[in-house]
């Protein structure tokens, strides 16, 4: 889950949220197919109530709302007020969407109040993952389901390691987005939180933020390289031309594609079938 100090505009969390807010439309192009996989795995019905953990700027809220219909409900939670403001604007016409600003691992919703818990890359940074998922299980109905996408390792993800290699920056990379790279760690965490019927499937897909200009811009703002440059802006002058050349060498400059490697994780709160 993303964390930030709203009072400190130079904090890593604020810089991350600001970069995401500036590039969210192109990021949505890149991540949408990777989030739709766990949404499809949930098999949502009309009138279901769904919790979206780390909803960010709201694309997944829109996708979930379409599936549960006007009589369902989608509860989006995120720690960033900046991202939630964009989500609010995007979902304002939808009466079934409710937004909560909170650290999801401490979310204080009633027990057994939702049919499903979903996340697109919003569950990898909890300070206590077992406690966080135990809280989600508490919030789920006994027949409820959990589904999320998370990154496999950095080395498995061309989307992340190619920009770093191309830029040639010698620096320590933040590994927290890849904290769920080990499937056995995921399984142990969910089992300890009380989940059953845990299924962890690998998925690889080429993703794109658009043409060469768009992709270069996005990768300099978010992801492992983007984080290094956000916190060390002086690196951009060297990194940008190198990254651009590496992306141009991939082929079609009108639609640059990079491989993403993820886990699609599903589990049940109890033995009952929805």
Which residues make Cβ contacts (< 8 Å) with residue 246, sequence separation at least 6? 162, 163, 165, 166
What does the pLDDT average to over 213-228? 97
Q: 59, 28 in Cβ contact below 8 A? A: yes
Does 64 or 169 have the greater pLDDT score? 64
Q: Can you give the pLDDT at residue 170?
A: 78
What does the pLDDT average to over 169-190? 93
Per DSSP (E only), the strands in 88-243 are 97-101, 114-120, 140-151, 196-207
Q: Can you give the pLDDT at residue 6?
A: 44
pLDDT in tens, 230-241: 999 999 999 999
Query: Which of 6, 92, 87 lies closest to 52, judged by CA?
Result: 87
Which residues make Cβ contacts (< 8 Å) with residue 259, sequence separation at least 6? 157, 158, 159, 204, 205, 206, 207
pLDDT in tens, 202-212: 999 999 999 99
Question: pTM for the complete prediction?
Answer: 0.94
pLDDT in tens, 60-91: 999 999 999 999 999 999 999 999 999 999 99
Q: What angle do CA 230, 236, 240 make, to 5 degrees?
A: 125
Q: Would you tell me how many other CB atoms lie within 10 Å of the CB of residue 141?
A: 18
pLDDT in tens, 15-32: 999 999 999 999 999 999
pLDDT in tens, 242-251: 999 999 999 9
Q: 261, 155 in Cβ contact below 8 A? A: no
Q: In this structure, what DSSP letter does residue 110 have? A: P
């Amino acid at each position: 889950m993303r964390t930030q100090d709203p009072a400190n505009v130079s904090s890593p969390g604020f810089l991350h949220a600001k970069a995401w807010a500036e590039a969210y439309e192109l990021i949505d192009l890149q991540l949408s197919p990777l989030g739709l996989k766990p949404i499809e795995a949930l098999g949502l019905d009309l009138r279901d109530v769904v919790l979206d953990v780390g909803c960010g700027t709201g694309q997944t809220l829109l996708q979930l709302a379409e599936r549960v219909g006007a009589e369902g409900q989608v509860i989006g939670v995120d720690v960033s007020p900046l991202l939630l403001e964009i989500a609010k604007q995007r979902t304002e016409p939808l009466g079934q969407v409710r937004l909560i600003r909170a650290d999801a691992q401490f979310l204080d919703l009633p027990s057994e109040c939702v049919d499903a818990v979903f996340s697109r890359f919003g569950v990898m940074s909890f300070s206590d993952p077992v406690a966080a998922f135990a809280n989600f299980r508490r919030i789920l109905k006994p027949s409820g389901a959990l589904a999320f996408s998370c990154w496999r390792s950095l080395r498995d993800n061309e989307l992340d390691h190619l920009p770093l290699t191309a830029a040639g920056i010698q620096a320590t990379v933040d590994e927290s987005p890849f904290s769920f790279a080990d499937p056995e760690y995921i399984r142990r965490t969910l089992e300890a939180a009380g989940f059953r019927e845990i299924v962890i499937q690998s998925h690889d897909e080429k993703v794109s933020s658009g043409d060469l200009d768009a992709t270069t811009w996005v990768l300099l703002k978010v992801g492992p390289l983007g984080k290094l440059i956000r916190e060390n802006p002086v690196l951009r002058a060297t990194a940008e031309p190198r990254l651009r050349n590496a992306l141009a060498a991939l082929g079609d400059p009108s639609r640059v594609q990079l491989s993403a490697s993820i886990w699609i994780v599903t589990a049940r709160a109890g033995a009952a079938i929805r």
